Every structure is written in C-alpha cells, then in structure tokens.
Chain A
Amino acid sequence: MSSNHYFKHEGPWSDAGDPLMCTDTGDWRTRRPVVDKDKCIFCGLCAIYCPIQVVEMKGDTHFEADLDFCKGCGICAKECPKGAITMISEGEFVS
C-alpha cells in the first residue's frame, strides 16, 4: 500500500476544506530580479537554487521569477553562470 490515503488532508491542524495559507512574500522584496533573455542559456540553475522555487520556465527560451512571491534574496542573480539576471531596486519600478 504505497499510496498514503490515510493522510489526504491539508495538514495536522487544519480543516480539510480550508485553502492553504499563503503570504504575499513579494511585499518583502527591495530588489527585483530582471532576466536578460538574450544572455540566458537555459541552464536552470536559478530555478533549482531558488529557495522559494518560484523561478519558472517561460517556454523554452528563458527562466523568470514569479514576482508575486519572490522575496528578492538575489540567489538567482548570484548563481547565474552568464550574469543574465540583475537585481534592480524596486524604487525604479514605482511609477
């Protein structure tokens, strides 16, 4: 019996009907990762090292972070072997 059907609920404390908790961690960000699509070699290192696992494949050309949840830690920019990701201050995106 490999499928664990005894424990198909949302968690130890939760009502099964309740949705999962989710915080808008995108609010924490002070710097935003911006991807240079031409420099991206599609190695996926940003996706595997992202602690929040929000860097997703966009088609088969480049990777991009989900800015709703990206905490702006900058690991993707640091680990990119081609320097295709730059961290730009959020202030520059305020209109």
Chain B
Amino acid sequence: MVSRRQTQVIGLVMSIIVLVLLIWLPHHNGSTNTLRWAQVLYIGVAAMGLNLLTGYNGQVSIGHGAFFGVGAYTSALLMHNHGWSFLPTLLVAAPLCFLVGVLVGFPALRVKGLYLALVTLGLAVLFPDLTKKYVHATGGTNLVSLNRGELSPPAWVPTSVSAIGRDDQWAYYVCLGAAVVLVIAALLIVRSRFGRALIAVRDHESAAASVGINAARVKVMAFALSALYAGIAGSCSVLVTHLANAEKVQTFQLSIEFLVALVIGGTATVVGPLLGAWLVVTLQHWISDTLPQHVGSLGPLKRVLGDPAASPALFGIMLILFVFVLPDGVVGGFRRAWARFVRNRNQTPHHAPAPLAT
C-alpha cells in the first residue's frame, strides 16, 4: 500500500534532493550556465506569483511584466543612484509591488476573464511609457545599467569558504534563496484559510460569498501577493542581467513567458511554475544555441534552422506539442502517472480466480 503519508514523505525527500542539487549546481557549472539557472529561478518566482492570481484565484493577467519591472527598477535605482547594496532594496521593492498590486487589483474587480486579460495587457503596454517619462538614466533613456562595484555581494558573504564571492554565484544564490522562501510561503498560503478562499472564489464566487468570504478583498489580496512575487523576481533579475529596462516588446514578452511557464508547468500547483520556468528557459536556449550547432552537417536543414526567425517558430511548435501531450502541465501529468502507479500497487489480487468446475 502507498498511503497518503508515504506520498508526503517521498515528496519531502525529493524536495531535499533537488535543493541539495541546486545548491551544488554553481560549483559544477560555468558562469553562463549559472546565470541561466538564476534566470530559471527568477522567472519561476514570477510565474509562482502569477499562479496565485491566475491558477488559484482564476484572474488572468498578461501584464505581470509590469510588476516585474517595478521590482527591477526599484532595486536598480536604489543601487545605482543611492549606493544601496542589493538585499535591503528588497525591503522597499516588495512592499512597493504589493501596494501597486492593490492599486491594480481594485479596478480589476470590475472586469473578468478576457476583459481582465485585456486590462492587464494595457498595464504591460503602459509601463514602459511611464518609465520613459519618469526614469532618467543612461543618456536620458530609461535603461538603468549597473556596474560591477554596485553589483558585488556584501562583505559578509564569504569569498574564501566557497566560491560564493563571484558575482554570478552571488546572483544565483540570491535567486535560489528567494525561490526557496517564496515556495515555502506559497505552500503555506495555499493550504491556509486564505488559500481555500482563493479557490472557493475562483470556483464559485456566489457560494464563496454565501459562506461569508469577502470575495472582493480576496481578489485584491491575490493581486497584491502576486505582484509582490513578480516584483521580487524583478529585483533578483537585476543581479543577473546587470540592468533594469522596460521596452514594450520585452515587458510584454516577459508577461507571456510567465504565463507559458505557469501553463506548461501546471496551474494551481506549487512547484509547477518553477518546472515550467526551467522548461521555458532551457527550451529557448536549446533551440537558439544548441540546436543550430548540431545541424551544421545537415545541409538544407541548416538553412531552415539557422534562420533567426526559426527559433521562435520552433519554440511555438514545441509549446503546442507540449500542451497536446500534457494538457494539465508537467505536474498534472506526473500526478496522473503517480495515481495510476498507486492504484496498481494497491490492487493486489486477493485470490486467484477459482477454477471452473469440471
């Protein structure tokens, strides 16, 4: 028999193994790979935030790139203009993003579904214009770029004990720390009274209201928490990319990436968005860098795959295939496989069928 408790223990052991591997990873990887893993983590954090809003609460947002941007700009400006080190900037960026989430969440109460998606899209479109008007950085543009000194880890981070003093590793471990804290927070949130309310409001708003849940407050709170996650992700991204920037295409693309990570990882599951982020980043890297190197000898194929336009197209095709094979995401697919495994294990035949009388 595989009991519920055993399933939990297996889950816990697996998380510890994954965590140990993630801690060990930079010692094995070069700087480029370490930064790519850091990117997986911060995109995963933003997708987790989107999951609280879209997966658990049913409010679709395609504007989370804007909250991400608020976090990135807050950290970058505090570091660049005011000489702050990175970690304290989180104490400003996180509450600020929460507040922006509340401000966006209130008007969002008026609209649902596709209309809400459109409103949040507006947010993604508007945000770069706002930064162009109010942020005056490099050459009068809205690009804030940070130099090495501003990005270096604080003095208490040991340089001799491990190789953590290297910029890329510092960036990676900050992202990992943020991801671990926010995964645990998400676990606690979705299993709490508030988590049940999120799901109740998503599944049946009037039934939720009829048991005394203030649906409006729950929805605004979901927006705020979600924005806080995206904002922290944005802050962390500054350590990886060494800049804060907001171009229309980029803000929009980020918003879509969060959504894609969420959907292919598994909506309304805690680890799904992280797995999805890993898939999105890895697939994109594989298609645009690894694949073209290996098709060199294939002649005509090279002409097709070597074209820069090919990689987004290939990525799109892979996404479509993915959704066909795993319609409820990686975690959903895994759960179905696990349920089948448990059922088979538990269905041990009691007796061999009695032979027919002869």
B is a partner of A: no
